[in-house]
Each structure stands twice: as structure tokens, then as C-alpha cells.
């Protein structure tokens, strides 16, 4: 029996969410639209199968097909990123990172990562995360004058604290990560370097951001952000030794059975990401972000680090006289979906911060280009300016109408 028959309530809600996604200009930089093919692989009978272990060494029988699927996903990941080893089983980015800790550190060990308010991820040792509670985290940030990572500070902190593990990468970093500089610091102090490319994996795969391969000991990534796959994650390594430690950490260290329907969808997304059109997509994501940033700057917005090298823009709204949360809420009512975000050295609280974070992976997946980015910047300017004057409703209504015309002209992949 169909979903609509068994559970019309959930079926209707899924339809409503599909409509919402179709009608919104999605600017959240960690999201994307997967293809119909990826969606199809996700909703399959593979969800019925238990496969604890790895191909050829499982703890359940009946793996004739699953072994082939997981092996295909692994081979595609290795070939796409140019690594010797890949593990496609982590349930998501956070458990993948936890596996990195389990593989290379013990509770109480010193670890280093970017502080959350500067653009790091919770799992890079932030206090409320298990990684901050069970390990001794040392945090680096960005320079106040440039908004960029201060590699001198990273080196000084590493020499002083001698971490076992260093994370680079993050969730709100609008600039290139200097993997070579991190690698030389990690080598100097004998730390394992983990490059967390969750946000930029699609750009790396498409050649629009330098690769950590050859610099980082281990690479962690989600599969659902710029990589445009299902919700999931992968861990990659070059050396046998690091790969063995990661595999043991994922299973049996941290997880039970892998989500085989997700593994199949990851394999599909990796195949798509190896196609020439995906490289064009990745480069257009960056070109769109630059166009959006340029137009926002021209309209007097204050961008952290003064712009972007990748898919992401962090806006400090202080100069516009409005906080991040009311701006994000008004933009959402106008059909422009963003998220409010802390900015470096934010004087406001994380739940009511000074900034918003936007990005171009989703709008680029819809086929939008630089002209549409300039239009989006103009709408953002109108709405934010109106919110600052406490007189937004009329403008929000008009912008929403105009946004609907744009989304209708650029249908999103995977939606009907
Ligand atoms: C998104 C993200 C994660 C976590 O991924 P989840 O799938 O949400 O657990 C980890 N690290 C970075 C840098 C991320 O951007």
C-alpha cells in the first residue's frame, strides 16, 4: 500500500515540504538538492538489510549484493578524491568525526580545532559537544583585522599544547583552507591532521577548491552538502595504518550496521560528481558566490573577511542596524532561506547573533547564474533595510511574489 494510503498525514507533510523547497530560494550553504537518481536509491529495499562489518568480512549472511554496492561506493570515492582508502559507513558528519577521535586520541588527550564562534564545527572540540567534554580542546580562531585563520596563532598554540589531533575545516569559513600550512604544523608537533571538508567536498571533487589529499592524514566529509548526495559521511586516508584505525573506529568502535540504502545513494552521487558537468557546477557555485558577495558589498553589506573564495558568505549585519535573527526571519517570510550565525568576535549571543550565513550550492543546482545572484542581493538589501526601519511587511510581501516568479523559472532537481 502506498504512503498516501497508509499514512496520509505524513504523506501530506512530505508534499508540503516538497512544495516549500520548490518555492524557496534556498541560501543555506550546507544544503543542496539531490538528483532524482540519488533520491530513488535512498528509498529502496536496501534499508531492510543488516551488514555489520566490511565487504568480505560481515557478521550476517546474505551480503552477495550489499558487498558489491559498498565496494562500488568505496572505489568511486577513492577515484574521485584520489585517495587509497575510503570508509562510506559513517551515519553522518558528526559520527564520522567522533570516529576520528576514537581512532587517534584517548579521553583526556589534547586536541585542536577551530572555535565554533569563528567557524569551526561543534565536533572540533566545542564545549557542549562530547568532543569538548571528553578531550582537552585547544581552539584557534581568525584574525580580527582580516577575518582569516591566523596560521601563526595555530602554530604557536600547537607548539605550546602539543595536540594529538588537529582539525582544519569548518562550517562558516568563507576562505580557502591552507592544507599545506596545517600539515607542516601537524608534522612539527607530531599530530594527526584531519581535514574536515564537509562543506567543500563538492568543490574539491569538482576542482574548485584545493584538495587536502597529500597534506592531511585523514579526510572527513559529509556527503549531503556541496557533494550533493544523501545525508551521510565518508572518511578517507592515504596510509594503510590510518585507514585501519579509522575502519576499526567506525565499526565496531562506534556503529553497528551501515545504512545500505544511503551507501547506494552515496555511490550514485559519487558517480554524478565524477562527470564533467559536476566540475562545471562546482566552479559555477564559486562564481555565483563571488557575484553575490560583490553585489552585497556594493550595497554596503559588511562581509567577514571581505568576500569569499568558496560557496559561502558570512554577513555581519551590525552596519545595517539589525541583528541576524530578525533579518533571517524576515528573509524567510520573503522566500529567501538563510540562517542566522555568529560572526567572529560577536558581542551578541549565539541564539541571537550579529550575522547571517548564506551560500550558493542550492541555487546553482537550480541552474541560476550571476544575474540571479545580483537580483537576490538586491532583494536581501531591500528586506534587511526594511527590517532595520521596522517596516518590512509590505516589502516582504512584494519580494516574496518576485521570488516565486524566479523559483518557477528555475525548477529544483529531484522535485516534481
Ligand atoms: C555539517 C558538518 C559536520 C556534521 O555533519 P552532520 O551530518 O550534521 O553531523 C561536521 N563538520 C563540518 C565542518 C560540517 O560542516
Inform me whether the pLDDT recorded for 200 exceeds 90: yes
Average pLDDT over residues 275-292: 98
Question: Has residue 29 been placed in a domain?
Answer: no
Average pLDDT over residues 61-67: 97
**What is the bridge-based pairing of β-strands 136-140 and 110-114?**
parallel
What is the tens place of the pLDDT at every residue in 146-186?
999 999 999 999 999 999 999 999 999 999 999 999 999 99
CA of 141 to the centre of ligand 1 (A): 18
Q: Give me the long-range contacts of 74-78 (CB less than 8 A, separation at least 24).
A: 76/267, 76/270, 76/271, 76/274, 77/234, 77/236, 77/266, 77/270, 78/236
Provide residues with CB under 6 Å of ligand 1: 30, 92-94, 97, 121, 123, 169-171, 196, 198-199, 222
Give me the pLDDT at residue 350, please. 85
Distance separating alpha carbons of residues 411 and 39, to the nearest angstrom:
16
Question: Has residue 9 been placed in a domain?
Answer: no
Question: Has residue 202 been placed in a domain?
Answer: yes
What is the tens place of the pLDDT at every residue in 104-125?
999 999 999 999 999 999 999 9
CA distances from 154 to 26, 142, 146, 380 (A): 34, 10, 15, 35
Spell out the alpha helix ranges (H) of 275-369.
Answer: 276-298, 324-333, 361-365
Give me the pLDDT at residue 400, please. 97
Asked if 152 and 294 sit in the same domain, the reply is: no
CA of 396 to the centre of ligand 1 (A): 32
Asked if 116 and 163 sit in the same domain, the reply is: yes
The residues facing 236 across adjacent strands are: 86, 219
Give me the pLDDT at residue 299, please. 97
Q: Identify the sign of the CA torsion 141, 145, 151, 155.
A: negative
To test the pocket of ligand 1, the residue of 31, 116, 121 to mutate (highest count of ligand atoms within 8 Å of its CB) is: 121
Count the residues in the chain.
Answer: 416
Give me the pLDDT at residue 141, please. 97
Catalytic pick among 70, 196, 316, 372: 196
* Number of structural domains the chain divides into: 2
3-state DSSP assignment of residue 82: coil
3-state DSSP assignment of residue 55: coil
Give me the pLDDT at residue 240, please. 98
- pLDDT tier at 69, thresholds 50, 70, 90: very high
Domain containing 80 equals 40-273
Question: Has residue 28 been placed in a domain?
Answer: no
Asked if 331 and 246 sit in the same domain, the reply is: no
Mean predicted lDDT score pLDDT of the chain = 97
Check if 196 is active-site: yes
Asked if 255 and 306 sit in the same domain, the reply is: no
pTM for the model: 0.97
Domain-terminating residue out of 273, 298, 332? 273
Nearest to 198 by CA among 315, 96, 105: 96
Distance separating alpha carbons of residues 191 and 108, to the nearest angstrom:
15
Distance separating alpha carbons of residues 41 and 47, to the nearest angstrom:
10
> 10 Å Cβ neighbour count for 35?
17
Question: Has residue 23 been placed in a domain?
Answer: no
Find out whether 31 and 362 touch, Cβ atoms under 8 Å. yes
Nearest CA to ligand 1 atom 5: 93
Supply the CATH number for residue 292's domain: 3.90.1150.10
Domain-terminating residue out of 224, 239, 273? 273
Asked if 308 and 379 sit in the same domain, the reply is: yes
Name the percent of the chain lying above pLDDT 70. Answer: 100
Asked if 234 and 315 sit in the same domain, the reply is: no
Check if 143 is active-site: no
Nearest CA to ligand 1 atom 15: 171
**φ, ψ at 182 (rounded to 5°):** -60, -40
Asked if 299 and 244 sit in the same domain, the reply is: no
- pLDDT tier at 190, thresholds 50, 70, 90: very high
Asked if 287 and 261 sit in the same domain, the reply is: no
The residues facing 312 across adjacent strands are: 359
Radius of gyration of the chain (CA): 22
Asked if 352 and 210 sit in the same domain, the reply is: no
Distance separating alpha carbons of residues 241 and 317, to the nearest angstrom:
47
Distance separating alpha carbons of residues 296 and 66, to the nearest angstrom:
48
Distance separating alpha carbons of residues 191 and 188, to the nearest angstrom:
8
To test the pocket of ligand 1, the residue of 171, 197, 259, 357 to mutate (highest count of ligand atoms within 8 Å of its CB) is: 171
The residues facing 85 across adjacent strands are: 237
What is the tens place of the pLDDT at every residue in 332-377?
999 999 999 999 999 999 889 999 999 999 999 999 999 999 999 9
Asked if 120 and 202 sit in the same domain, the reply is: yes
Q: Identify the sign of the CA torsion 99, 102, 103, 108.
A: positive
> 10 Å Cβ neighbour count for 253?
14
Catalytic pick among 49, 143, 176, 231: 231
Domain-terminating residue out of 239, 273, 307? 273
> 10 Å Cβ neighbour count for 15?
12
Give me the pLDDT at residue 392, please. 85
Give me the pLDDT at residue 368, please. 98
To test the pocket of ligand 1, the residue of 132, 198, 311 to mutate (highest count of ligand atoms within 8 Å of its CB) is: 198
Asked if 294 and 259 sit in the same domain, the reply is: no
The residues facing 25 across adjacent strands are: 336
Question: Has residue 220 been placed in a domain?
Answer: yes
Check if 231 is active-site: yes
Question: Has residue 214 been placed in a domain?
Answer: yes
Nearest CA to ligand 1 atom 13: 170
CA of 95 to the centre of ligand 1 (A): 9
**φ, ψ at 319 (rounded to 5°):** -70, -15
**What is the bridge-based pairing of β-strands 136-140 and 218-222?**
unpaired
Question: Has residue 26 been placed in a domain?
Answer: no
Find out whether 175 and 309 touch, Cβ atoms under 8 Å. yes
Supply the CATH number for residue 77's domain: 3.40.640.10
What is the tens place of the pLDDT at every residue in 380-408?
999 999 998 888 899 999 999 999 999 99
What is the tens place of the pLDDT at every residue in 243-269?
999 999 999 999 999 999 999 999 999
CA of 179 to the centre of ligand 1 (A): 18
Element (H, E) at 313: strand 312-316
Inform me whether the pLDDT recorded for 416 exceeds 80: no
Asked if 209 and 298 sit in the same domain, the reply is: no
- pLDDT tier at 94, thresholds 50, 70, 90: very high
Amino acid at each position: 500500500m502506498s504512503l498516501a494510503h497508509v499514512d496520509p498525514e505524513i504523506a501530506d507533510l512530505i508534499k508540503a515540504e516538497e512544495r516549500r523547497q520548490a518555492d524557496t530560494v534556498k541560501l543555506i550553504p550546507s544544503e543542496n538538492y539531490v538528483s532524482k537518481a540519488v533520491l530513488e536509491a535512498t528509498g529502496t529495499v536496501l534499508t531492510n538489510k543488516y551488514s555489520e562489518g566490511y565487504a568480505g568480512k560481515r557478521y550476517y549472511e546474505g551480503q552477495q549484493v550489499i558487498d558489491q554496492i559498498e565496494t562500488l561506493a568505496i572505489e568511486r570515492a577513492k577515484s574521485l578524491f584520489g585517495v587509497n582508502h575510503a570508509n562510506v559507513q559513517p551515519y553522518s558528519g558528526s559520527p564520522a568525526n567522533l570516529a576520528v577521535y576514537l581512532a587517534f586520541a584517548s579521553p583526556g588527550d589534547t586536541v585542536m580545532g577551530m572555535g565554533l564562534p569563528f567557524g569551526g564545527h561543534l565536533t572540533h572540540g566545542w564545549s557542549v559537544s562530547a568532543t569538548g567534554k571528553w578531550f582537552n580542546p585547544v581552539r584557534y580562531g581568525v584574525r580580527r583585522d582580516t577575518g582569516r585563520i591566523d596560521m601563526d596563532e595555530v602554530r604557536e598554540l600547537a607548539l605550546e599544547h602539543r595536540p594529538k589531533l588537529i582539525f582544519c575545516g569548518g562550517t562558516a569559513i568563507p576562505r580557502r583552507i591552507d592544507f599545506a600550512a596545517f600539515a607542516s604544523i601537524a608534522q612539527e608537533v607530531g599530530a594527526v591532521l584531519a581535514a574536515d571538508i564537509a562543506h567543500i567536498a563538492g568543490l574539491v571533487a569538482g576542482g574548485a577548491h584545493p584538495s587536502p589529499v597529500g597534506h592531511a592524514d585523514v579526510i572527513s566529509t559529509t556527503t549531503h552538502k556541496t557533494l550533493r548526495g544523501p545525508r551521510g559521511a565518508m572518511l578517507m586516508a592515504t596510509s594503510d595504518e590510518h585507514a585501519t584505525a579509522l575502519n576499526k573506529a567506525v565499526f565496531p568502535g562506534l556503529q553497528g550496521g551501515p545504512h545500505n540504502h544511503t551507501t547506494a545513494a552515496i555511490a550514485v552521487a559519487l558517480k554524478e560528481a565524477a562527470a564533467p558537468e559536476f566540475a562545471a557546477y562546482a566552479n559555477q557555485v564559486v562564481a555565483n558566490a563571488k557575484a553575490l558577495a560583490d553585489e552585497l558589498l556594493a550595497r554596503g553589506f559588511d562581509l567577514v573577511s571581505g568576500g569569499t573564495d568558496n560557496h559561502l558568505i558570512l554577513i555581519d549585519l551590525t552596519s545595517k542596524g539589525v541583528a541576524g535573527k530578525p533579518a533571517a526571519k524576515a528573509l524567510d517570510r520573503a522566500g529567501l532561506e538563510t540562517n542566522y550565525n555568529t560572526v567572529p568576535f560577536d558581542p551578541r549571543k549565539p541564539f541571537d547573533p550579529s550575522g547571517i550565513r548564506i551560500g550558493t550550492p542550492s541555487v546553482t543546482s537550480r541552474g541560476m547564474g550571476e544575474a540571479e545572484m545580483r537580483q537576490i542581493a538586491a532583494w536581501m538589501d531591500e528586506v534587511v533595510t526594511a527590517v532595520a526601519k521596522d517596516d518590512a511587511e509590505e516589502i516582504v510581501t512584494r519580494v516574496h511574489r518576485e521570488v516565486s516568479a524566479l523559483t518557477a523559472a528555475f525548477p529544483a532537481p529531484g522535485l516534481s
